[in-house]
Amino acid sequence: MTAKTILITGASRGIGRAVAILAAQKGWSVIVNYLHNDVAAQRVVDMVRTLGAKSIKIQGDVAREDDVIRVFREASTLGPLDGVVINAGIVAPPLALVDMTLERLQRMFDVNVLGAYLCAREAARQMIKSRGGNGGSIVLVSSIAAVSGSPNEFIDYAGSKGAIDTLTKGLAKELGPQGVRVNAVRPGLIDTEIHANAGQPDRARRRGLNTPLGRPGCAEEVAEAIIWLLSDLSSYNTGTLLDVTGGV
């Protein structure tokens, strides 16, 4: 498999971290973007390097345009980007929409929607052939919540992920002629730290029992799908929404 250089946003934990490790196992160079936890990001960089691959970490808030531009500029020190995983996102404690504050909604959409669009824009600017790029693959991390709507819990999060699905479909058509494929994965109940951040650390394990497979998924299972979409093995896939949900 051809060696690649990939940038992963939100790569210090969960699905992003799992993608970084799997990419390193294939000999790919990995840029680890993170927001706050420098120690966790450095730990991922160290794991990637231990596996024999190149890696750097770059702090940056995806909801800030200046940060996004800087992250992509600094990422080029490892070489031209072949792949970008737009993974950074947030969730908040469960609430019905009637109880959500403007501040919560603003931050949710700033990070999950505006952040994804800014990262996709900068990825396109670096990767499209008309601007000197080599083409490649962009993978966005959506959620099956975009289909279910997550009523009475995370309707804001679900809506933000619906925007990711739309971005995937539209951008695939824009960038296909420029040599860049754009796809998304839609995880279901995955046992990562994001549930604890929303105040329900046992949510995935509890609800995963009701899936056809009878369990939640793990970050590595989602990462395998992302790696496939980044790789040349998925060369005829673009505009694809790939569900990783245990059958939900």
* Active-site annotation, residues: 157
Side chain identity, residue 154: F
Report the alpha-carbon distance of residue 11 to residue 84 in Å, rounded: 11
Specify which residues 55 forms β-bridges with. Answer: 30
Q: What distance in Å separates the CA atoms of residue 81 and residue 63, rounded to the nearest whole number?
A: 21
Q: Listing from the earlier edge strand, what are the strands of the sheet with 180-187?
A: 55-59, 29-34, 5-8, 83-86, 136-141, 180-187, 241-244
What's the CA gap between 136 and 182, in Å, rounded?
Answer: 9
What is the SS3 assignment for 36? coil
Close Cβ partners of 66 (under 8 Å, ≥ 6 residues apart): none
